[in-house]
Amino acid sequence: MEFFRIRKDIPFMRFALVFNAISTLTFVAAVFFLATKGLHLSIEFTGGTLIEVGYSQTADLSKIRKQMDEDGFVDTQVQNFGTSRDVLIRVPPEKGAGKADVGARVMASLEKVSNGDTPTLKRVEFVGPQVGKELFEDGAMALLLVVFGIVAYLALRFEWRFAVAAIIANLHDVVIILGFFAFFQWEFSLPVLAAVLAVLGYSVNESVVVFDRVRETFKKKRGMSTPEIINHAITSTISRTIITHGSTQAMVTSMLIFGGAALHYFALALTIGILFGIYSSVLVASPLVMWMGVSREQFIVAKKAKPEGMTDDGACV
């Protein structure tokens, strides 16, 4: 399916140095903000107090969040737990405050917006920072395993140059997402980590599409140079890229607008990842492949010489 077809190849590789210079600057800026500001980790990683309450009717989460902000609870997470009448509240750790004190203060805030539907306290639990540390380490290990898996897959399916180029481009996306969260001090939670992993796989898919067209063009068009082949591969997949990323971004935008606070940063991370994923898969990975010396000979399987006196079907003359 195509919305349009571009008849003349766009000379992307003519500006490859410019594209990679932009990528380098954004990457360095992201690393700088990560090193100086760091990530604003959520309660899953830092520990805190978990409070579960129940209502007789559907709880108004927006009113609860607003009231808790007014009462001095910073970076508190409020979400439904199981049903629309059950609410789970995560409160970051406070110095000198025990879980009983935090629970009492939270219940006092909830009473102010109960409108006659008095909430029932079901449980109050303290999550120590050790649990958060384990979650952070497990998330980093998951990211590392995904990277190794992608490299192995691309090296087996294509060629090692494609694997190296793709993983550099895709890690570029991940670091830039983290850089945005560090610069604006947006809350980095488990859903955001899931979004980062999703972006990594999503960007690889785009790289695979372009690389597959590059390999196909190398085999079919013998009179074209390597930059011309890459230009042709990118140009011929533009319509597919617009359809795929446009439909995906439409869904993510709906989550960003209508998903509420629970999905806001998840959708925001996906939005940044999709936008930079298009850029890196097409305009970062492809120039890297070109500069690493990809050529037609790497995809042409040499025919084995037949022993003298043998026909093509293996029979003796």
161-217 residue pLDDT tens:
888 888 888 888 889 999 999 999 898 888 898 898 888 878 888 888 888 888 888
> Does residue 316 lie in a domain region?
no
* pTM of the entire predicted model: 0.78
Residues 30-39 have a mean pLDDT of 94
**Confidence grade of residue 224 (pLDDT, cut at 50, 70, 90):** confident
Question: Do 32 and 176 meet the contact criterion of CB atoms below 8 Å apart?
Answer: no
| Residue at which a domain ends, from 82, 98, 127 | 127
Q: Which domain holds residue 112?
A: 48-127
Do 190 and 289 lie in one domain? The reply is yes
User: First vs last Cα of the chain: how many Å apart?
Assistant: 51
pLDDT tens-digit series, residues 39-85:
888 877 777 888 899 998 988 888 999 999 898 888 788 888 878 88
128-137, 145-154, 254-263 — which is least confidently predicted? 128-137
For 267, the token pair is 């959708």
Helix/strand/coil (H/E/C) assignment for every residue in 67-107: HHHHCCCCCCEEEEECEEEEEEEEECCCCCCCHHHHHHHHH
Indicate the SS3 state at residue 167.
helix
Do 224 and 261 lie in one domain? The reply is yes
Does the structure show a pLDDT above 60 at 303? no
Given this model, what pLDDT does residue 269 score?
Answer: 94
Q: Which percentage of the chain shows pLDDT scores above 90?
A: 17
| CATH code (residue 239) | 1.20.1640.10
Question: Do 171 and 288 meet the contact criterion of CB atoms below 8 Å apart?
Answer: no
Does the structure show a pLDDT above 70 at 306? no
Do 113 and 222 lie in one domain? The reply is no
Does the structure show a pLDDT above 80 at 94? no
Does the structure show a pLDDT above 80 at 122? yes
Q: Whole-angstrom Cα distance, residue 185 to residue 45?
A: 15
Do 85 and 157 lie in one domain? The reply is no
Do 33 and 173 lie in one domain? The reply is yes
> Does residue 7 lie in a domain region?
no
Does the structure show a pLDDT above 70 at 7? yes
Do 167 and 27 lie in one domain? The reply is yes
Given this model, what pLDDT does residue 131 score?
Answer: 63
pLDDT tens-digit series, residues 248-289:
999 999 999 988 777 899 999 999 999 888 888 778 888 888
For 80, the token pair is 């439904």
Do 86 and 195 lie in one domain? The reply is no
Cα distances (angstroms) measured from residue 105 to each of 102, 109, 110, 113, 241: 5, 6, 9, 13, 51
Do 174 and 212 lie in one domain? The reply is yes
Number of domains within the chain: 2
**Confidence grade of residue 315 (pLDDT, cut at 50, 70, 90):** low
